[in-house]
């Protein structure tokens, strides 16, 4: 992202974030409520130990190995043919892999074996719900166009006006939808915050639950405003403030998300 983290935070806050491996605004936005893995497409030439990769392919055969630690040996075909090992032989797992459809795997090289951490049918990419951390936006609470236009809360409005257009362009590497599938594309969030028509709004919304990111931007900008005004975070970013902010948004944050975000911000304020 174009915006630098130094434009929004104090030197002490920047130092704390740097120690946690967060070096820019994009990484901070995608940090809440949980830090997610950056996943790269797998290539046969790469065999870095303990690095996670994304791999697409069809399961052509599998074998349950009963000796010692029970595991499943899976042979897949696709752009990169590979033998994978899954150390989970639960009945529902066996039923799932016995399907003639394309899967997407998260794999990691452990002790010379390509081990499957998670996998799901690739068709899940077309689902209308996405997972950020542990919170799921369910179909019955998809934002309505009228609610977007009614976001008149003064805090959100003032923060929104300060955002650069570059803040609306998020490269989704590292954001994990259901089944930990990988979306190597860009979503223009400006279509949701400044919709010109309902079709454009709904199409963009189906691609990405962008108002979750908008909440993160709002909280980040609130840090900046509090720092500029020399006002402690504890007087503003309490649970009531989080409740006020989240109630303005047409989706639901879990209580664990609110607590996690609050703890992170409280730590930054120390």
Mean pLDDT of 127-133: 29
Q: Are 30 and 171 in contact (CB under 8 A)?
A: no
Q: Give the model confidence (pLDDT) of 219-240 as tens digits.
A: 444 544 554 454 444 334 444 5
Q: Report residue 159's pLDDT band, with 50, 70 and 90 as the boundaries.
A: very low
Q: SS3 for 249? A: coil
> Strands 102-110 and 113-121: what pairing?
antiparallel
- What percent of the chain shows pLDDT beyond 90? 0
What pLDDT score was predicted for residue 226?
52
Helix boundaries (H) for 31-100? 91-97
List of domains in the chain: 5-36+133-269 (no CATH), 40-122 (2.40.50.140)
pTM of model > 0.75: no
Q: Give the model confidence (pLDDT) of 97-123 as tens digits.
A: 766 777 777 788 888 888 887 776 665
Q: Distance between CA 53 and CA 81 in Å, rounded? A: 14
Q: How far is CA 5 from CA 119, 162, 171, in A?
A: 34, 15, 16
More confident of the two residues 88 and 246: 88
What tokens does 165 get? Answer: 């257009």
Residue whose C-alpha is closest to residue 39's, from 49, 53, 57, 26: 53
Q: How far is CA 46 from CA 41, 76, 106, 107, 108, in A?
A: 10, 17, 14, 12, 11
Q: Distance between CA 206 and CA 254 in Å, rounded? A: 21
> Strands 40-41 and 52-65: what pairing?
parallel
* Position 86 pLDDT exceeds 50: yes
């Amino acid at each position: 992202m174009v915006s630098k983290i130094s434009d929004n935070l104090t030197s002490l806050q920047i130092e704390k974030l740097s120690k946690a491996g967060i070096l820019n605004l994009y990484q901070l936005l995608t940090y809440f409520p949980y830090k997610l893995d950056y996943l790269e497409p797998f290539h046969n030439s790469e065999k870095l130990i303990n690095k996670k990769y994304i791999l697409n392919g069809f399961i052509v055969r599998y074998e349950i190995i009963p000796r010692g630690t029970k595991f499943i040996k899976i042979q897949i075909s696709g752009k990169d043919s590979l033998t994978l090992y899954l150390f989970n032989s639960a009945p529902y797992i066996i039923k799932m892999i016995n399907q003639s459809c394309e899967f997407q795997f998260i794999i990691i090289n452990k002790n010379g074996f390509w081990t499957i951490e998670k996998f799901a049918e690739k068709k899940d990419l077309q689902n209308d719900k996405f997972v950020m951390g542990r919170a799921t936006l369910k179909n019955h609470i998809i934002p309505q166009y009228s609610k977007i236009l009614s976001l008149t809360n003064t805090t959100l409005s003032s923060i929104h006006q300060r955002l650069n257009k570059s803040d609306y362009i998020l490269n989704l590497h590292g954001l994990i939808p259901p089944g930990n599938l990988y979306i190597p594309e860009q979503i223009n969030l400006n279509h949701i915050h400044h919709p010109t028509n309902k079709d454009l709004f709904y199409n963009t919304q189906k691609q990405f639950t962008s108002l979750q990111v908008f909440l993160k931007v709002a909280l980040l900008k609130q840090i900046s405003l509090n720092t500029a005004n020399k006002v402690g975070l504890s007087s503003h970013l309490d649970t009531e403030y989080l409740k006020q902010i989240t109630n303005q948004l047409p989706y639901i944050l879990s209580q664990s998300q609110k607590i996690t975000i609050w703890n992170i911000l409280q730590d930054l304020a120390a």
